Structure 1
Amino acid sequence: LAQDIPFANIHNRYATIGNKYIEDDIDLTTSGLGRSRIVNKLSGRNYHVQDDIFALRLIFSGLGPAPKKLQNGENGVLLTARDFKFLGYEQNSLINGVKRITLHFNYRWENTNLYVSVYYEISSNEFSFRKWIGICDSSEGINFLDMVYVESLNFGRASFSHGQFGQPVFYKDIFLGLEYPTAENFINGGQLKIGYVVGESVKSPQYITHKAIIGCSSSETSLENAFMRYVRTIESNELRPVLLYNSWYDLRNPAIAEKDSSGIMNESSVMRTIASFKSELYDKYQIALDAFVLDDGWDKYKSFWGVDSSRFPQGFSNIVDALKSMGTKLGLWASPFGGYSNRDLRVNWGRKHGFETTGNFYCLAGSKYDSSFRDVMTKYVQEYKIGYFKWDGFLLACNESNHGHLPGIYSREASVKAYIDLMKSVRLVNPDIYLNITSGTWLSPWWLKYANCIWMQGEDYGYQEDIPSITERDKAITYKDVVLWNNFQKQHLLFPMANLMTHGIIKGRFNMLGGSNESYSSFANEVMMYFGRGITMWELYVTPDKLSPDDWNSIASAVKWAKGNEKVLNMTKMILGNPEKMQPYGYLHVNGGKAIIVLRNPYVKRQKINIKIDHNFDGLISGVNYFVKIIYPYNMILPHPLTYGDAFKIDLDGYEVLAAEMVPSYKLDPHLPLGVKYSVDKNGNISLWRKFGAKQVIHLVNGKSLGKIEFGHPVQGVRFKEKTKFVKYDKKIEARVNIEVPRNWNFPQLAILIELDSSMSEQMKPTFKATISGKQVPVSVETGNSRWYWGIVNIDSAISAVNLDVRFENDIKGKVSLWLFGQEELSHVLLNHIRIRTN
């Protein structure tokens, strides 16, 4: 029990603070001031460092030269604890067993009398300790604090990782950082300074800095997981899934409704959409929206974020009442810098009424705009019980000099402070409000002290045009995952996937994303990818009557699955290859003795992947056998049990999305089959599925064998009646195919893929022509950045003699391939003597 109690003491001018996980020893002797030792008790590793204790970059006023300078006019002075006189210390025991040590320093020069207090704090149950600084000047208070370094350490020979803007620094099995979004890390060999721009005069009382954090893990390979566990402890709210509708692609301001009167946002159209969600999702699936979000379109442009009374004569009162039957809260979009559509109308009106602007934007740090925006957002929370805000648009800086803040880089600090004050203000009214801050933010985990969700970067949606794709939605999926790969695999940013806004599932009147003739499987693949990435803010950018019953079922099934696996999906790593290079990739989630893997092949070519159960799977139960249970797009349990150190292989078809769970063998129903696709009906009856004519010995999870099972009579497979021929002329490619497709194939298509050499012009403009048995048929063409082209022809489940002609305006170089697409019906066998329990 004594080991669980944190300790903090000073003896013979040696300060020690620690707990059973981590310890910091600081030498305060005159000769040794600045030597420190960080002890990671989890790994047994000690770090001996030269410690400046703090560093302040000050701009001195008064008569010159400034301290450490030779000439008048030279300025910008860096002071550390070595430049100060050590005055003494305090030891304090706080509530909940927290221990604190405070060191006091003084610096005198001319008309300057600086006092610095350095605070160290630790609790019993955290594998980290915190440190911060208080600074004041009891003299004239005319000096300017440009930057503060809360940590200034030299590890000697060291190799750090991470450390980008707003990010922590990793070194072996410890992490270091500053708990603030604008944290900056300066690395020079083994020297590390962690601080931030301040931009304030040093006066009395104390200016208190943001806190630095040093934490540890049991090994280098577990450090990222340790850091993510730490992030969970600082969040403004406990992480929770939030399902919401967003109106942006469904309902808009009349000025941007694109002549579609049904898409105009007003009370009537909003009530209609609420009724649709109640009917299609709440009544049928017992799934309630957590928030119903009105995006850009609810406000009157020429007002200060006022509700447009011409379209909402009762404000939002009737809408709030209508949502109560589902237990759904109203959510609102607003933009700190003035929005996007018709922003000039908002900003020009605001400028005339005394609100601070810069160019065509509002300035959030402006004295009047800051307080007024905070007041109106807080008022809406009070009046309409708002449960969600999407705040969209944050400026890099404001260089105006008359807004009540300093220009340049200091304005960034003023804007961040204003943003954080805004978040704190609405939380005082509704502590559980969900805050999603989007464009203009960056992936610093320390935003999560104030907000629930941060924008992933990139565009709202996009199409990855340089990868050959059959569907528009496949391009959009790949685009999103390329952005995430750049964040997490290329830049190695540290931020929990669970707190990312990746923009939701889009299928609305103003953007169908996948096209008007999109297949159900295309839509279902995105639903699986969207929930399978491990995000927890689930946005539906949909028009209800654009969704088919299958679409609704896909969404409902994914919501229930994700909620049932919430704790596992919250711990995420992106794995495998780079989607931008057409490599298979995926997302791995491990927690609480279970793993979930979501995989995707972004290219048409079938690809094999190999996954080893290594340190990335920490969180599985040691010594327990696991089975890999594929749950999408079919059910199948891989035949061999696995444990730590083993590997398994999975084949991914072109554009396939596959989700699998790794489950301890004792948690699986013992009567489930291994190594074969299966389905279970609502009564617990099991059917097995394989190709017609297949034969397989079926084993069950419990080790029993059902013997060899035959799956119906053989069906002739795809046959090419004669050799496929490719003929290339200067500007023409001709493919001649004589093919027989079995009748158990649905929706067969023959497709030619032309991938042009990178040296070719982007303006090739090919024309496609196709005939089947001499009769001309339409060709569906898909292209991206004019580097590749798909020509797709629907064919019959019979013998088809197909000619495909592609003509270009110029001679071409590249690669040509021919592909057959379709949905093959399988044979099934009902296991009459086996029934399992279902839920």
Structure 2
Amino acid sequence: MLVFSFRSAYGQDIVIKNDKVIRTLRYSDSVWLTVSVSRADGSDRLDMQSEEFHILGMNDHTLTAKDFRVKGMPVAEHRGDTNMLTIRYGRRHDRHYTNDDPATVEVCYTTLKGDEVIRKKVILQFDAPAVVDRLEVERFVARAKESGGGRGEPVFMNDKWFTGLEYPAGYSRHTDGNTPKAYSRHYEMVGNYSFIDLEERDIEPHGIAGMVRLMHFPGYAKGAAQGKYCIESKTSVMGIGKPGDNAENGFMNYLATIWKAPRSFLHYNNWFEPRAKDLKGDALIDIFRAFRSAIAPYGVKMDAMVADDGWQDHESIWQPTPKYFPNGIADMKLLSEKLKQEGTGFGLWLSIGGTNAGVPWGEKHGYLPAKPNSYFARYFRYYSLSHPKYKEEMLRQVPRLAKEAGLVYFKHDFNQLSDLNDNAGHPPTDRHGHEANLDAMLEILMATRKVNPAIYQNITNWIWFSPWWLMYADALWMLAGDDGLNGNWPEISSRAMATTDRDTYIWRMWGDTADRPLVPISRLMTHGIIRTSTGRMESKEDTVQDWLEYVLMHYARGTLLKEWYISPEVMSPQHWKALCTVHNWAAANEKYLNHTVFVGGRPDEGNPYGYIGWNGNKAVLVVRNPGAVTSALRIPFDGSVQYHMQKTKRYHAKVIFPYRDEYPKTFISGQPMVIEIPGYATMAFEISEGKAGKPAAGNLPEIKDIVKTDSSITMFLPADAGTRCDLLVIAYDTLPGLAINGQQLTPSRTSRSAINAFAGYAIAGMPSKTARSWKMAVYDLSAMAGKNITISFDPAISADTEIHLLMERKVIQKSSPTVPPNIPWTITPDTRRQTIQLR
């Protein structure tokens, strides 16, 4: 047995342990209270003074373990690899209790052989109906450096230990019992965020230094056996990483033991394509066939064709509409089977809360609409998910769809989970309605997995970035607008602006290494890759190179949920080649991209940035410069980017896009890497141990003898710049007229600003304070390569108007006889970009 009791110098102690960790409780005043946790060998001990649990009533009445007395001896059990310790408490004779106070309390501790965590659950038992406002599963004081915490977040202690509730809507506080304040983490209340009003009931008025609290809001006790009532707490976990690991790395290793394992999922979604929303006959099958013929030569396989909002009958609870499916689920099953025969699966959009499901009809038929808080009242109507009638119907219907229709994917949208009703199984408060509705949602997700274990579950609008969501979901929405072009910073390509839009949201939430979500970026839904018959997210001047870089940045985030909002008929062979070669590169490098971390600054303020993913002593790095001037990106080379190997080792990088060659710098682990990125360039690297080799192409020659006056610039354009030679003009008022050798120029491309044009529902926390209006024009000078030119302009031109030269210069590089497999298509492998600011 690995559970035992002994007498210490302080009194009687009892231990719950396995081969990795120990939790020690001490008997005092008729209760057992935790005094320490440590590794199995006693090292890394964390001492604490615990109250073991804390109960807050609706009337502010409070109880802790010391308000009860132990009943009998602790019960230790050993079942297989699991050790359990249960301690039961009853009421004291010298205390006064209310009707909402439990008659008995059970505290159950468990640990599994090989795990570096110990779990705990508190069970409150009542003789009559009762209500509990707040239940703290852990409440202790530790003299430790404490950090983290928040909504669905762990607390870190001494950068070794972690603790939290294995529940997305648990709340954790530390340092003084009240840190962090609700919604005060850097990444909260940003974008399309969720808000639940706790009415300050999370606050401990008598917090003290070092206090850690893990809490949730259970509300009403549920009926139990023999006429009793019960509240079972959410499960707390306390653990530590392997020796040498910091708390975050230890937590992530623990998380990997309980989450839905990461897996890639490629699908087409019909949301942006009008003709694809017709689900009658073979319309969707024909679209898949077009995909298949284009991607099969590259070995790419589509996992699913997904019908977004529009397949449902609004006079039902998630039945297929007769418009497309006259025989209901039987017809949907037929479509699913046809797609399977063609080589793919079928998936559906479905709001578990009932948004866009015909709430007015449902209300007439006895289904209770939710009563939202003021934040969610601005949006769509939906049902109370905890109300028995709707919950029971959803527990039948969603698993039924998954099983009978043979679905492989659900996109669960609009997750308000806010309900202030007084007749929906919870007290009429936002905090209790939230917990009751979330519990129902998780029950539905698990019931779906039970009948269809392979189902891919994507949870979208109004989630929050609790890592414990990943116990139930494969992917989480990034909380941005559906799509968008970020026009805060001068960029000429609409595809580039689309990339900047996504990456600015990710910077805002993941860009601060000291305060970022623990959910990996690779587990985000980002609304994928868009190219439609309506020309969404692009301009007609966008090139295949622009497209490829847009695609590359999507995959560079490590995105496992690969969404294609693509109309096959608008894709050229070059577009398919760009898309599929990047897809195959990502598939081949998934073990690195699963661990991507954002590095760099705010993209829509012109800062270079990128994503790096380490696995052991190798990494994939993709960087981007959204500005015209060559910029240096400093990349940490330590644990903040999930590098956990030896310091002071030499590493080198190979450029795999936009060309293939050795990068000329050697990097030393433990010291920041510095990458030079030409203007408006996107680059991809493979990083591994070893000293940098000599680039095959060598350095580009400098351009000298540039003569500048108040109204002109004279220079020689290199003859090797004929592939691309663009003059870029950026003005912050009016674009100036330009002439080359006396001849007026007409721009080949233009663009202009759209300041802080984020979607209204996702603008929170996003506006830039430095963005200003701009206009941009590009002039194609490639025909003038190898000639002397004079660029003339009005001497009264605004002082802040910028003029840049962007060239793709030919280099002499011995080409490889074979192209390495699974790398992005290098459209111009024999050129190198050079950007020069002329004014």
Same fold at TM > 0.5: yes
- 1:761 corresponds to: none
Measure the CA separation in 2 of the matches of 1:465 and 1:472: 9
5+ residue gaps, structure 2, are 177-208, 371-376, 756-771, 823-839
The answer to whether the 8 A contact 2:533-2:569 is kept is: no
User: Secondary structure of 1:674's partner?
Assistant: coil
* Number of equivalenced pairs: 738
* CA deviation after TM superposition for structure 1 residue 580, in Å: 4.7
Measure the CA separation in 1 of the matches of 2:254 and 2:473: 16
Q: Say yes or no: does 1:352 pair with 2:364.
A: yes
CA deviation vs aligned residue, 1:226-275 (integer Å, no higher than 9, x gap): 2111111111x322111111111224xxxxxxxxx677554443122111
* CA deviation after TM superposition for structure 1 residue 428, in Å: 1.6
Q: Say yes or no: does 1:441 pair with 2:436.
A: no
* CA deviation after TM superposition for structure 1 residue 44, in Å: 2.9
Measure the CA separation in 1 of the matches of 2:635 and 2:467: 29
* CA deviation after TM superposition for structure 1 residue 100, in Å: 1.1
Measure the CA separation in 1 of the matches of 2:153 and 2:464: 10
Q: Say yes or no: does 1:524 pair with 2:544.
A: no
* CA deviation after TM superposition for structure 1 residue 454, in Å: 1.2
Q: Say yes or no: does 1:198 pair with 2:241.
A: no
Matched AA of 2:6 = H
5+ residue gaps, structure 1, are 1-5, 60-74, 252-260, 667-672, 677-687, 695-716, 728-734, 756-763
- 1:241 corresponds to: 264
CA deviation vs aligned residue, 1:265-302 (integer Å, no higher than 9, x gap): 544431221111110112x1222111211112223444
Q: What does 1:255-654 align with in structure 2 at a 5 Å threshold?
A: 264=278, 266-282=280-296, 284-313=297-326, 315-325=331-341, 327-339=343-355, 343=356, 346-358=358-370, 360-363=380-383, 364-409=385-430, 410-490=432-512, 491-510=515-534, 512-611=536-635, 613-615=637-639, 616=641, 618-620=643-645, 626-639=651-664, 644-645=669-670, 648-654=673-679
Measure the CA separation in 2 of the matches of 1:445 and 1:611: 25
Change (3 A) 1:779 1:511: closer
Change (3 A) 1:91 1:597: farther
The answer to whether the 8 A contact 1:247-1:294 is kept is: yes
- 1:9 corresponds to: 4
The answer to whether the 8 A contact 1:43-1:219 is kept is: no
- 2:694 corresponds to: 675
* CA deviation after TM superposition for structure 1 residue 457, in Å: 1.6
The answer to whether the 8 A contact 2:556-2:622 is kept is: yes
- 2:731 corresponds to: 754
- Of residues 534-543 and 430-439 in structure 1, the stretch that sits farther from structure 2 once superposed is 534-543
Normalised to the residue count of structure 2, the TM-score between the two structures is 0.81
Q: What does 1:150-189 align with in structure 2 at a 5 Å threshold?
A: 150-156=137-143, 158-172=144-158, 173-187=160-174, 188=176, 189=209
The answer to whether the 8 A contact 2:129-2:220 is kept is: no
The answer to whether the 8 A contact 2:270-2:276 is kept is: no
Change (3 A) 1:430 1:220: same
Measure the CA separation in 1 of the matches of 2:52 and 2:480: 39
Matched AA of 1:566 = E
The answer to whether the 8 A contact 1:605-1:653 is kept is: yes
- Of residues 265-274 and 476-485 in structure 1, the stretch that sits farther from structure 2 once superposed is 265-274
Measure the CA separation in 2 of the matches of 1:538 and 1:806: 51
Matched AA of 2:457 = L
CA deviation vs aligned residue, 1:372-413 (integer Å, no higher than 9, x gap): 333332222122200100010011412233445433221111
- 1:790 corresponds to: 776
Change (3 A) 1:806 1:632: farther
- Structure 1 residue corresponding to 2:802, chosen from 817, 822, 833: 817
The answer to whether the 8 A contact 2:725-2:807 is kept is: yes
- 2:232 corresponds to: 208
Rg (Cα) greater in structure = 1
Which protein is richer in strand relative to its size? Answer: 1
Change (3 A) 1:318 1:781: same
The answer to whether the 8 A contact 1:770-1:793 is kept is: no
Measure the CA separation in 2 of the matches of 1:79 and 1:831: 74
Matched AA of 1:168 = P
Change (3 A) 1:246 1:565: same
* CA deviation after TM superposition for structure 1 residue 325, in Å: 4.2
* CA deviation after TM superposition for structure 1 residue 49, in Å: 0.9
* CA deviation after TM superposition for structure 1 residue 438, in Å: 0.4
Measure the CA separation in 1 of the matches of 2:34 and 2:324: 67
Alignment identity in percent? Answer: 25
Measure the CA separation in 2 of the matches of 1:76 and 1:836: 70
Measure the CA separation in 2 of the matches of 1:796 and 1:640: 31
Measure the CA separation in 2 of the matches of 1:262 and 1:313: 18
- Structure 2 residue corresponding to 1:115, chosen from 99, 104, 109: 104
User: Secondary structure of 2:723's partner?
Assistant: strand
CA deviation vs aligned residue, 1:795-828 (integer Å, no higher than 9, x gap): 34215554457999xxx7x722101224333333
Normalised to the residue count of structure 1, the TM-score between the two structures is 0.81
The answer to whether the 8 A contact 2:221-2:231 is kept is: no
Matched AA of 2:659 = Y
Matched AA of 1:815 = D
* CA deviation after TM superposition for structure 1 residue 220, in Å: 7.7
Measure the CA separation in 2 of the matches of 1:229 and 1:462: 35
Measure the CA separation in 2 of the matches of 1:308 and 1:142: 42
* CA deviation after TM superposition for structure 1 residue 169, in Å: 0.9
- 2:200 corresponds to: none
Measure the CA separation in 2 of the matches of 1:516 and 1:303: 43
User: Secondary structure of 2:565's partner?
Assistant: strand
Measure the CA separation in 1 of the matches of 2:86 and 2:416: 37
Change (3 A) 1:509 1:806: farther
Change (3 A) 1:176 1:830: closer
Change (3 A) 1:81 1:635: same
